């Protein structure tokens, strides 16, 4: 694995949505829509982007409340994967979750996305269940693996 490039992780704004949607469409057969990203921003979910030399190469969205947080979306441009960017983005989300007092962070992941499963496990997520037929898939549906990470006490 090569060294982590100089990246900037910053809050996502409405002006970023077009680039985020383009990255989603390039990355997934069933991407989130522009409306979903706009709704996430509108309702106050934590959304951020990753930039490398002013180029948007990743994004994430997280909801939080009632002492827990939920990673809703995490995406890194295929050309920049396996360079530590996904890990840095996930760590950023975990720091945000800690800052808002979340004691648990949850997410769903396709079991076929083995790279993502390994990333989440490397950051302390453990499987707590399966959601049958959760994801749209070519030729039907795919289950989701439900993962949770227990957070430590918030730093004061």
Q: Where are the beta strands (DSSP E) in the chain?
A: 8-11, 46-52, 55-65, 68-76, 104-109, 126-137, 140-150
**Residues 34, 51, 68, 108: which is the catalytic one?**
108
Active-site residue, 28 included: no
Judged by DSSP in three states, 96 sits in: helix
**Residues 45, 106, 120, 135: which is the catalytic one?**
120
β-partners of residue 65 are: 68
Q: Is the dihedral of CA 16, 37, 63, 105 positive or negative?
A: negative
Active-site residue, 108 included: yes
As a whole number of Å, the CA-based R_g of the chain is 15
CA distance 78 to 80: 5
Q: Which residues are catalytic?
A: 108, 120
């Amino acid at each position: 694995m090569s060294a982590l490039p100089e990246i900037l992780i910053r809050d996502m704004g409405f002006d970023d949505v077009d680039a985020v949607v383009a990255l989603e469409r390039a990355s997934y057969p069933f991407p989130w829509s522009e409306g979903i990203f706009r709704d996430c921003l509108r309702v106050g979910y934590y959304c951020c982007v990753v930039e490398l030399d002013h180029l948007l190469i990743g994004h994430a969205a997280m909801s939080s409340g009632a002492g827990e947080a939920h990673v809703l979306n995490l995406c890194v441009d295929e050309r920049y994967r396996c360079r530590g960017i996904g890990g840095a983005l996930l760590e950023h989300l975990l720091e945000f979750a800690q800052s808002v007092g979340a004691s648990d962070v949850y997410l769903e992941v396709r079991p076929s996305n083995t790279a993502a499963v390994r990333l989440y496990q490397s950051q302390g997520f453990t499987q707590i269940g399966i959601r049958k037929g959760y994801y749209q898939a070519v030729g039907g549906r795919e289950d989701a693996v439900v993962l949770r990470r227990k957070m430590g006490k918030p730093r004061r």
